[in-house]
Chain A
Amino acid sequence: MSGTADGRGSAGAGGPVLEMRAITKTFPGVTALSDVNLTVRPGEIHAICGENGAGKSTLMKVLSGVHPHGSYDGEVRFEGEPVALKDIRAAERRGIVIIHQELALVPYLSIAENLFLGNERTTARGLIDWDATLREAARLLRRVGLRDRPRTPVADLGVGKQQLVEIAKALAKEVRLLILDEPTAALNDEDSAQLLDLILELRGQGIACIVISHKLGEIRRIADVVTVLRDGRTIETLTVRDSPAAEPRLSEDRIIRGMVGRDLDHRFPDRTPFEGHRDIALEVRGWTVRHPVDHQRKVVDDVSLTVRHGEIVGIAGLMGAGRTELAMSVFGRSYGIYVSGSVAVDGREAVTRTVPRAVAAGIAYVTEDRKHYGLNLIDSINRNVSLASLPGMRPPGPGGRGFVDEHHERAVAERYRATMNIKAPTVLEQVGRLSGGNQQKVVLSKWIHADPKVLILDEPTRGIDVGAKYEIYTVVDQLAARGKAVLLISSELPELLGMCDRIYTMAEGRLTGEVPRGEATQEVLMRHMTKDRG
């Protein structure tokens, strides 16, 4: 296989900085990493690629001490000697620093205070040495190319500059190996370019760097080597360029092949056709939304799409592509700042300014984060199922308006418990005690009972086991067969390929493709999903 480099075989004169051998990490019921190997040589920019859930973050957590030594199998060698890191601080003392996707700066402290947080410059008597703090802060800021004063509060900086402060903070800890998790996911093009240049500069200073990124264009621009993970395993390690100055000789398609090259190992129910008229149920036109905090950034940019009755339409995209943001902003403007765009349901203009109006218009949104946005975990199944359709459960007779017939409510919930196969002794069971799959069925029941025309399902099978997945696919199929329009957002390409009639792809807030079922393959989708802007 051309382009494959065995790190261990061709270690340079100094030997590798980092060797992770046969790392296996299991969580109850899930094997997150299985026999993973990773070798990073001095002054190397090493990219790690893989789909969502491939195990990239878990591997980095093992490396940075979040998952302490002993909670995984395998060996980690750093600068030639085996290390047993018990927490993040131990990793940082060795010079292994991770910068997470969500920045970990304290907004109301100054840049200088943030740089030395937990690593303070102190006088002999244990007080903060402000002179040393400010002096060194200024030096570190120069190194990362920031011209702001060290006393500036971090809250006054944009996200791009904050990212640079994070790197300066790592430099303050005398970093030997810098790990960046999706460093440019939240940045605009200009900030991204600046950050990538800085990473290249650090390589010149002998600091090795691991970059997790979905953006293949960026990887080709800066990385020397790329390791592809899939389903918790190392698939391959590929050389991107032969020397730091050389042009990349690895194509994006080659990386994509490694990321998706698995057989469809999930099973899907055969689609039941819908017999009615396949009219357009949902039409979104020119939908544009800005980030709730960073007003400059368009999180959803001029998206137009349609879903017909009886149709399951997928939205594919990598993390940060704006899929959830699109869905939530359409559903009662529950995310971000609305800029422009319109929604029509069954050909009629629909006002979806608030959630109750969106529901009244016939739209339902089943969230990707059922624990935080989908369920009241401390309440019972029946009260969760009924929440979106309480007015429809009024007792008979006059004067029943505004009230709930508990017996009707329980009977409805019992019906869903039976038809959806929710595993609980009765519907009075607390939802928090159910398994993930059963919780997901409760959320689905809630929205199915609200009887919408359009169901937006956001990652409906995330974190649930294979058996429950199949049950949920069956439910989705039945919904479409009954004429509902289903918009299915998923990070699992096989799921989209197995369920959808049509698949839209998104990248950086924009629609980058529309692929009918017949033409859809994982490679085609991944190519659209990794398109850079411009």
Chain B
Amino acid sequence: MTTTTTPPRDSAAAPSPSRSARELLLESARANMRQYGMLVALAFIVVLFQIWTDGTLLLPNNVSNLIQQNGYILILAIGMMIVIIAGHIDLSVGSLVAFVGAMAAVMMVKHDMPWVLALVLCLLIGAVAGAWQGFFIAYLGIPSFIVTLAGMLAFRGLTQIVLEGQSLAPFPDGFQNLAKGFIPEMGPYTQYHNPTLVLGLAAVVLLLLREWRGRKRQSAYDLDPLPTGLWVAKCVALTAAVTAFTLTLASFHGVPVVMLVMCGLLILLGYVMRNAVVGRHVYALGGNKAAAKLSGVKDQRVTFLVFVNMGVLAALAGCVYAARLNAGTPQAGLNFELEAIAAAFIGGASMSGGVGTVMGAVIGGLVLGVLNNGMSLVGIGTDYQQVIKGLVLLAAVGFDVWNKRKIGR
């Protein structure tokens, strides 16, 4: 607990308006070390398997496939990330995925319910399940590990009760589209999928608009924005990345429905965690519960909401997974909670809470997804795949611990 401030820091503090671009970059890189690290790791893995599979990995049909294969894990990972940021854990999501899938099957297969209504009811079931667990965790103070372990057993059991031990199939086409569908083609024949091109263009425009507005606000508040050259470079890079991705998808069947859902969640929850008061309160609670409470954070309500959110997302993932299997089965979602937890930690969560981003969860999930997909393509057996994924998780968290120790205190 030294109380001396290092002199270099002081001198860096003085001429704040005119710091060099390099300093700014280094600073922002250090602040987001873990996330940039994982982005670089993701890029590295992609390049590695792209070469190893002779270009199969990034073929349009495989990219579509990758997204559809991992959609439900990414949805779970987003929710899990928020739970972990709040300083908790949720072991029940795999069983909840199975239970919601089973309920969906009962509603649609047995009772011929319209799929939209069934989907809404499924999300409600998820919310109630989340509220049930959140109540014990937030208001009665029972550790989340215990409550959700109980949930893991209970929801699995309920799944078997509801399904009477059997699989129920098939689902209506509309419901199946949730996992397998693409947005429909429209307009004249081009080489590309037209609505996807329009969506891609819209994404580029919105991103650039956001960048531009952010920059304007920064100047208005007298904060030092990125130097113009760097900012333009950043915008060009963003545009190029989105364009390349759009063209890849557009040369196959277009944007998968599940990706639309994913992106919606990413934007919505990313914004909530970053810019909503409740999101900030989640970070504050996970970072230091006592200090957050003494700053006026309503800890019980925030914790409760975090678990309700997780329940809804688990239900959504349950529907997507059931639609992908085209059946409600008792064994659905086995070990999904572990995949989601692994994705969150690879994507920058910290065991002690308070750290992580929604984007990080998606990156972590993609690292696992690309590893799965790439290793399968080059013919590595599932036995070795498990070992390698385990080592990647260990390495990612090990890096985090090492990095923290270097920071000290």
Chain B residues whose CB sits within 8 angstroms of the CB of A435 once the complex forms: 2-5
Binds A, one of B195-203, B269-277, B364-372: B269-277
Binds B, one of A93-101, A145-153, A283-291, A425-433: A425-433
Q: Which residues of B contact A398 (CB under 8 A)?
A: none
A405–B275 CA distance with the chains assembled, in angstroms: 7
Verify if B140 is at the interface (C-beta below 8 Å from A): no
- Return the chain A residue nearest B294 by Cβ: A373
Which residues of chain B come closer than 8 Å to A423, judged between CB atoms? 5, 9-10, 13
Question: Which of B44-52, B58-66, B213-221 makes up part of the contact surface?
Answer: B213-221
> Of residues 342 to 395 in B, which have CB atoms within 8 Å of A's CB atoms?
350, 354-355
Q: Please give the distance in Å from A142's CB to the nearest CB on chain B.
A: 41
B interface, size bucket: 35 or more
> Is the Cβ of A383 less than 8 Å from the Cβ of B280?
yes
Give A331 Cβ to nearest chain B Cβ, in Å: 7
User: Interface 1/0s, chain A 374-400, versus B by CB < 8 A?
Assistant: 111111100100111011000000000
- In the bound assembly, the distance between CA atoms of A426 and B296 in angstroms comes to 26
B214 touches A407 (CB 8 A): yes
Choose from B220, B280, B355, B408 the contact partner of A390 (Cβ within 8 Å): B280
Assuming the A-B contacts A355-B294, A430-B407, are A377 and B280 also in contact, with contact meaning beta carbons closer than 8 angstroms in the complex? no
User: What 1/0 mask marks residues of chain B from 1 to 42 whose CB sits below 8 Å from any chain A CB?
Assistant: 111110001101100100000000001100100000000000
B190 is an interface residue with CB less than 8 A from chain A: no
Is the C-beta of A533 less than 8 angstroms from some C-beta in chain B? no
Complex Cα spacing A437 to B217, Å: 32
Q: Does B261 contact A (CB under 8 A)?
A: no
Which single residue of chain B is at the shortest CB-CB distance from A334? B294
B217 and A407 contact, CB distance less than 8 A: yes
**Contacts of B407 on A, CB cut-off 8 Å?**
430, 432-433
B235 at the interface (CB under 8 A from A): no
A273–chain B nearest beta-carbon distance, Å = 32
B223 at the interface (CB under 8 A from A): yes
Q: A383-B283, A387-B284, A411-B221 are in contact. Are A425 and B4 (CB under 8 A)?
A: no
Q: Which residue of A lies closest to B223 (CB)?
A: A410
A365 touching B9, Cβ below 8 Å: no
Q: Which residues of B contact A377 (CB under 8 A)?
A: 287-288, 409
**Minimum Cβ distance to chain B for residue A128 (Å):** 32
The answer, yes or no, to whether B278 is at the interface (CB within 8 Å) is yes
Is A438 positioned at the interface, with any CB of B under 8 Å from its CB? yes
**Given contacts A426-B27, A435-B2, A403 and B276 within 8 Å (CB-CB):** yes
* Residue B292 is within 8 A (CB to CB) of chain A in the complex: yes
Distance of A432 from chain B, by nearest CB (Å): 5
Q: Is A406 interfacial (CB-CB < 8 Å)?
A: yes
- A379 lies within 8 A of B354 (CB): yes
A414 is an interface residue with CB less than 8 A from chain B: yes
Interface pair B221/A436, CB less than 8 Å apart:
no
* B293: Cβ under 8 A from any A Cβ: yes
| CB-contact partner of B294 in A28, A331, A463, under 8 A | A331
- The answer to whether B276 touches A404 (Cβ under 8 A) is yes
Q: Number of residues in A with C-beta < 8 Å to the partner? A: 55
Asked if residues B223 and A414 are in contact (CB atoms below 8 Å), the reply is yes
Selected from B5, B28, B275, the residue in CB contact (under 8 A) with A438 is: B5
Chain A residues, Cβ within 8 Å of B5: 423, 434-435, 437-438
Complex: A365 Cα to B291 Cα, angstroms: 11
Which residue of the partner chain, among B1, B27, B281, B355, contacts A425 with CB atoms under 8 Å?
Answer: B27
B277 and A403 within 8 A (CB):
yes
B291 touches A373 (CB 8 A): yes
A387 B276 Cβ-Cβ under 8 A: no
Indicate if A308 sits at the interface (CB-CB under 8 A): no
Contacting A407 at CB < 8 Å: which of B1, B218, B354, B355? Answer: B218
Known: A404-B276, A435-B4. A376 touches B220 (CB 8 A): no
Bound: A268/B299 CA distance, A = 39
The digit string for B287-323, where 1 denotes a CB below 8 A from any CB of A, is 1101111111110000000000000000000000000
B294 contacts A404, C-beta separation under 8 Å: no
B223 to chain A, nearest CB (A): 5
- The answer to the question of B54 belonging to the interface, with a C-beta cut-off of 8 Å to chain A, is no
> Which residue, of B28, B274, B287, has the highest number of chain A Cβ atoms within 10 A?
B287
Picked from B2, B27, B31, B295, the residue with its CB within 8 Å of the CB of A387 is B295
- CA of A331 to CA of B296, assembled, Å: 10
**Contact residues in B for A373 (Cβ distance below 8 Å):** 290-291, 294
Shortest C-beta distance, A418 to chain B (Å), equals 9
Does A464 belong to the interface (CB within 8 Å)?
yes
In the bound complex, residues from chain B placing their C-beta under 8 Å from that of A356 are: 296, 298
Residues in B with CB closer than 8 Å to A518 are none
| B348 nearest CB across to chain A (Å) | 12
Using CB atoms, name the residue of chain B closest to A358: B296
Q: Are B31 and A424 in contact (CB under 8 A)?
A: no
Task: List residues of chain B with CB within 8 A of the CB of A407.
Answer: 214, 217-218, 220-221, 223
Chain B residue, CB-CB nearest to A446: B295
**B90-119 contacts to A (CB < 8 Å):** none
Say yes or no: B221 contacts A375, CB within 8 Å.
Answer: no
CB distance from B274 to the nearest CB of A (A): 7
Please report the C-alpha to C-alpha distance between residue A82 and residue B274 in the assembled complex, in whole angstroms.
61
A359 at interface by CB-CB < 8 Å: yes
Provide the residues of chain B in CB contact with A388, threshold 8 Å.
295-296
Chain B residue numbers with a CB within 8 Å of A365 are: 294
Contacts of A425 in B (CB 8 A): 9, 12-13, 16, 27
Interface flag for A201 (CB, 8 Å): no
Contact with B along A448-487 (1 / 0, CB 8 A): 0000000000000001110010000000000000000000
A126 at interface by CB-CB < 8 Å? no
| A402 CB–B CB distance under 8 Å | yes
In the complex the two chains form, is A376's CB within 8 Å of B287's CB? yes
Complex CA gap A459/B354 in Å reads 27
A463 touches B3 (CB 8 A): yes
Q: B222 to chain A: which residues have CB within 8 Å?
A: 411, 414
Known: A334-B293, A379-B284. A437 touches B3 (CB 8 A): yes
CB under 8 Å from chain B, chain A span 324-352: 331-332, 334
Q: Does A139 contact B (CB under 8 A)?
A: no
Q: Does A372 contact B (CB under 8 A)?
A: yes
Q: Tell whether A29 is near chain B: CB-to-CB under 8 Å.
A: yes
* B-chain residues with CB within 8 Å of residue A114 when the two chains form the complex: none
A332–B296 alpha-carbon span in the complex (Å): 9
B292 / chain A contacts, CB cutoff of 8 Å: 376, 387
Could you tell me the distance in whole angstroms from the C-beta of A303 to the nearest C-beta in chain B?
20
A68 to B49 alpha-carbon distance, docked (Å): 55
A367 within 8 A of B: yes
A sample of 21 inter-chain contacts (CB < 8 A) reads: A355-B293, A372-B291, A373-B291, A376-B288, A376-B291, A379-B287, A380-B31, A383-B280, A383-B283, A387-B280, A388-B296, A407-B217, A407-B220, A423-B10, A425-B12, A425-B16, A426-B16, A428-B27, A433-B407, A433-B408, A437-B5
Further 16 A-B residue pairs, CB within 8 A, beyond A377-B288, A380-B31, A433-B407: A30-B3, A372-B290, A375-B291, A383-B284, A387-B297, A388-B295, A407-B214, A407-B220, A411-B222, A414-B222, A423-B10, A424-B9, A430-B407, A435-B2, A436-B1, A465-B4
Q: 4 nearest interchain CB pairs?
A: A376-B287, A411-B221, A407-B217, A425-B12
